[in-house]
Amino acid sequence: MFCGNGPQKQAQQPCCCRAGRSARFKRTNEVDSCPSLTSSVAVPYPSWHADVLREREIEYKEGSSGFTDWPEAKKRIRNQLK
């Protein structure tokens, strides 16, 4: 995944999801301290994205939309694909 020296080194680093607990902890700390991942550089986003977020916020406040936890959402998606 990511390394402590920035995303450009990704290909050289093994995926931390297969690593042991101490290796995952070390990798998490490296990601948290990586300047290229924690900088306040503005990331461009599509112009429609802000509109969609506003619409969803309104729907949530009106009660016509809600949140689903990730395990439940995965289960629902899998059932739809059957």
The model's confidence at residue 33, banded by pLDDT at 50, 70 and 90, is low
At 31, list the tokens. 């990601």
pLDDT tens, position by position, 39-66 = 667 778 888 999 999 999 999 999 998 8
The fraction of the chain above a pLDDT of 90, given in percent, is: 37
Mean pLDDT (the chain, rounded) = 74
Residue 8 has pLDDT above 60, yes or no: no
Question: Shortest CA distance to 7 belongs to which of 44, 27, 37?
Answer: 37
Q: What is the largest CA-CA distance in the chain?
A: 48
What is the predicted pLDDT for the residue at 56? Answer: 93
Question: Shortest CA distance to 18 belongs to which of 27, 6, 31, 9?
Answer: 27
Angle at alpha carbon of residue 74, lines to 59 and 23, rounded to 5°: 115
Instruction: Please check whether residue 3 is in contact with residue 12, taking contact to mean a CB–CB distance below 8 angstroms.
Output: yes
